Structure 1
């Protein structure tokens, strides 16, 4: 007889707690939690310098506003006395300014630092050379818009330091020697944008190197505050003034890859030179290309910006057996020759003006094959060059009869011209060729 199985008195559900098998977490759960911890640690490490700087700035600002701090500091910081001389920039810097881009003045030249008399503002000189340094300054210094400050205030509250782990904010010719009261800064650029400082702006400051000069105090130079943008924004900035080879979207109101840019590209207007050529010869066609999306105000802004472009000294000629026109790089009329005779614009009669306009249109159609003329020879000619001659007013013909002279037998034939002839302006009349004569 089989022995009976003895029970221990516990059912499966009555097992003691310490003997129950605990459920182990899955491998994916462990990896996910480890990654989350790592990400949080990385975030805290990145935020720590920012939080430290913000707390430090707020504490300093609170201390400065504190009455006890003012009372304690007032005997140690006497009010700044106006210096005898100060440094100054001859011209303002050209804006906008981008990181990594060379900083120039509004005329496109290197920044120039001069020494001036504080009372008169006139340039001044001193006998000994001055060692000066270019430094980045906070855009809101001085906070109370004072005209004078001490060297200690400029050092402690004005000059801004680069971010932790970054390159110096200003690089290039930051240490210079001034002689005869002036010195040029040939190379200068910012390495970081201004978005991380509280006022969001920088200034460029110049001061005498501390300890290098024993004479009367010389005040520091500062530009107006400005925003320093990241260099990626330079890819889309406009040029002032534009140049002939600039892409057409460098003009005001024409955005890169925008609707106006696409329309112009479809009509082979890809740069400022082609834009100005079409504006000179066929302004109505250019206006039609831009469409109704460009308002009259936008059109005025765009064309005004384009007209600031310098056309250069090159002159091109387009010649036919009956006349020759000379134009510059944007098809502004320079000189006219009809039947070998040079004319000024006011000397042309109605039919000759029509003929000149047709020559311009024909020259525009052949713009890629024009012959370059000798600009110096044109300027040395006794006949004055035409100024603003591109704005030719074509008289309305209406019912007015034009006199066309037969150059073969010098007989005048009076007949009605119903349509403006094409570029060669030659009319067939009873088997003979009739042309405009000088």
Structure 2
């Protein structure tokens, strides 16, 4: 019986799977596990819960945005069937040439290169839909890859240029662009190698869509082909547009220290301004200086580049000797005739006859020889306001001279040279005379010049008569000469007064 009980007890242990000791150990492990979980919950839950909430929120918002965009796109598909909305990428501005290695690739006038997503059927920017915010990739394409409309995506891939073995990636910078409302901007991208080693010796920039959209075909875009030069050649680059004071070799077809450059320097044509000035004054002579080595086509390229120089608005006026006193020429900073001033009327160059244009060019040549007689204005409007306000009758402008001081000044001053005065001319030569010689003036001659019969005559009336007698004033110099004469006469009257006082004291 005892053996039977032991057997049944052993069987019960086997069937039960555990002894009381095992149950005690299991309970202890369960309690420890619960304590560990409580510890984890106490310390980690405050950290993990906000993080999990943030991740869940972002994922929900992203999914919702995609859902709403999909709804908008479906609505647009109802208006514009998919088959009519083949899209294409397009470079919206040209590249600024030439391009040098390690230099930022820019658009015209230093602006950033812009890329647009365009509807092929309408040519309009696609500013809505999933593709309008897509991600693009910039790449380099062979220069001889034809820009016809028939290439395939595979053709485009096969013409992508990779860097040479052992060289850095061909493009440096951010080669990915994200569209915003259908337009993207290329930012800080440069080329690390020149294009001389490729089969065409030129590159093109290409752009393709990274994101793919169902039922939407987006065609790649490429630029015009261009040469990439080593950055060491940037010192010799041409400026577009050139400035007036750029050296003349900055113009196209004129190489630094080349034959054309030396010919121009020998003729004292050193800057772009010199080049343009000689062109406007004597174009055949300038052409002759460059010689037969410069073909007609090269000449036109150089001339067009020079003409692209940005000029200021200033104008210059000159009235040459030997012409009608009411005729003056108007020209700009590079001696280009802008028009003529005839009888106080401005006639633009395009309205001049060939004879008048020839005369105007002669006047400009004379102006450069008498540069001190040229009057400058900020622009044509300023000239019209200031130069043409002299009445055609040439009557004197009334000036309030009652407040002028007639007291003499020490030292040297302007006094009339009575001995050199032309009789009846009404003109008084001025010379600088020491103060000590004033007593030697002949009072009678002074009175005759001013029209005074007696020394005590009204000096104010004499001054009036002197100013009103000056009618033939050169156009453009009226104001300055009148003030000069007024000052000179006032000074002379001051001398006259002092001499009279000293004689009375004697």
TM-score range, shorter chain: 0.5 to 0.7
Partner in structure 2 of residue 258 of structure 1: 258
Deviations 1:86-132 (A, max 9, x none): 21112343444322334334566432201012344443222452222
Secondary structure of the equivalent of 2:249?
helix
Q: Which has the higher strand share?
A: 1
User: 1:263, CA displacement in angstroms?
Assistant: 2.2
Distance 1:367 1:126, change over 3 A: farther
Distance 1:148 1:83, change over 3 A: farther
Secondary structure of the equivalent of 2:276?
helix
Partner in structure 1 of residue 76 of structure 2: none
Alignment of 1:234-383 (within 5 A): 234-291=234-291, 293-294=293-294, 298-318=298-318, 322=325, 324-337=328-341, 342-343=346-347, 356-365=360-369, 372-375=376-379, 377-378=381-382
Partner in structure 2 of residue 21 of structure 1: none
Q: Which has the higher helix share?
A: 2
Partner in structure 1 of residue 219 of structure 2: 219
User: 1:162, CA displacement in angstroms?
Assistant: 2.9
User: 1:188, CA displacement in angstroms?
Assistant: 3.2
Partner in structure 1 of residue 126 of structure 2: 124
Deviations 1:24-61 (A, max 9, x none): xxxxxxxxxxxxxxxxxxxxxxxxxxxxxxxxxxxxxx
Distance 1:364 1:295, change over 3 A: farther
Q: Give me the whole-angstrom Cα distance separating, in 1, the residues matched to 2:129 and 2:224.
A: 30
User: 1:238, CA displacement in angstroms?
Assistant: 4.1
Distance 1:92 1:344, change over 3 A: closer
User: 1:136, CA displacement in angstroms?
Assistant: 2.1
Q: Give me the whole-angstrom Cα distance separating, in 1, the residues matched to 2:306 and 2:92.
A: 28
Residue 94 of structure 1 contacts residue 106 of structure 1 at CA under 8 Å; is this kept in 2? Answer: yes
Partner in structure 2 of residue 192 of structure 1: 193
Q: Give me the whole-angstrom Cα distance separating, in 1, the residues matched to 2:221 and 2:354.
A: 61
Distance 1:291 1:364, change over 3 A: farther
The alignment of Structure 1 onto Structure 2 pairs a total of residues equal to 307
Distance 1:138 1:371, change over 3 A: same
Q: Give me the whole-angstrom Cα distance separating, in 2, the residues matched to 1:362 and 1:162.
A: 61
Residue 342 of structure 1 contacts residue 383 of structure 1 at CA under 8 Å; is this kept in 2? Answer: no
Q: Give me the whole-angstrom Cα distance separating, in 2, the residues matched to 1:345 and 1:142.
A: 46
Partner in structure 1 of residue 205 of structure 2: 204
Q: Give me the whole-angstrom Cα distance separating, in 1, the residues matched to 2:235 and 2:375.
A: 35
- TM-score normalised per structure 2: 0.49
Q: Give me the whole-angstrom Cα distance separating, in 1, the residues matched to 2:356 and 2:146.
A: 67
User: 1:184, CA displacement in angstroms?
Assistant: 2.7
RMSD: 4.5
Q: Give me the whole-angstrom Cα distance separating, in 1, the residues matched to 2:140 and 2:354.
A: 64
User: 1:179, CA displacement in angstroms?
Assistant: 1.1
Residue 142 of structure 1 contacts residue 158 of structure 1 at CA under 8 Å; is this kept in 2? Answer: no
| Larger CA Rg, structure 1 vs 2 | 2
Q: Give me the whole-angstrom Cα distance separating, in 2, the residues matched to 1:88 and 1:350.
A: 48
Partner in structure 1 of residue 20 of structure 2: none
Unaligned stretches of 5+ residues in structure 1: 1-80, 385-407, 409-433
Residue 247 of structure 2 contacts residue 271 of structure 2 at CA under 8 Å; is this kept in 1? Answer: yes
- TM-score normalised per structure 1: 0.56
Residue 85 of structure 1 contacts residue 219 of structure 1 at CA under 8 Å; is this kept in 2? Answer: yes
Q: Give me the whole-angstrom Cα distance separating, in 2, the residues matched to 1:368 and 1:185.
A: 52
Residue 83 of structure 1 contacts residue 219 of structure 1 at CA under 8 Å; is this kept in 2? Answer: no
Q: Give me the whole-angstrom Cα distance separating, in 1, the residues matched to 2:251 and 2:234.
A: 14
Residue 276 of structure 1 contacts residue 306 of structure 1 at CA under 8 Å; is this kept in 2? Answer: yes
Unaligned stretches of 5+ residues in structure 2: 1-82, 389-424, 426-471, 476-506
Residue 377 of structure 2 contacts residue 383 of structure 2 at CA under 8 Å; is this kept in 1? Answer: no
